[in-house]
Amino acid sequence: MKITVRQLRDIIKEEVSRVISENTTLEQSAEDYAKFKEGQKHLGLWSQLVSKIPDIDALKEEAQGDYYRFFDAVKKKAPTARPNYIDMYFNMDVNRDQVEEMHNDYEKLKGFFKEADVTSERDVQYGRKRTQVIDVRTGQPVDTLGGTGGSLGT
């Protein structure tokens, strides 16, 4: 079977565009995973404070930099709020809308990533477990090997 120069050019163009679209997908996966992790990190802020206190930014402003005033005001509105989240919100440079946006990104993306066990025989020998994050939309790994820990502390 002979391939003309024109057909060869078309094949090359198709392959180049396919590779470019794959790279874009991998870049998008990495961006989505970063948003997912950021939302996961601030999930406690959402569930403990922002979802329960609609005017939390006003409370922070009224406290005028006084942590104890802010803490007392939050505890009056949400008695079950954990102190570490109150402290985190007071010291972070975020507002309610930003935390809500991170939470929404997390909710939208949480079904797109799963952890796969990539523990080798050698890892088992040393009591380590390795996991890798996979983007279920592409089937490609997103995170590098991580989640190691074992008896040797490695």
Sheet holding 113-117, edge to edge: 113-117, 131-135, 140-141
Handedness of CA 17, 23, 24, 29 (dihedral sign): positive
pLDDT at 138: 80
| Per-residue CA distances from 68 to 52, 65, 73, 74 (Å) | 19, 9, 8, 10
The set of residues, in sequence order, having a beta carbon less than 8 Å from that of 75 and lying 6+ positions away, is 81, 86
The residue among 11, 13, 17 whose CA lies nearest residue 3 is 11
The two tokens of residue 50 are 């922002």
How far apart CA 13 and CA 8 sit, in angstroms, is 9
pTM: 0.65
At 151, the pLDDT band (50, 70, 90 cuts) reads: very low
The two tokens of residue 69 are 């005033």
How far apart CA 70 and CA 59 sit, in angstroms, is 6
What DSSP character marks residue 25?
H
pLDDT digits (tens, 9 = 90+) for 109-148: 888 888 889 899 998 899 998 888 888 888 888 865 444 5
Q: Which secondary-structure segment (H or E) carries 21?
A: helix 5-41
pLDDT digits (tens, 9 = 90+) for 7-56: 878 888 888 767 655 665 778 888 888 889 888 888 888 888 988 999 99
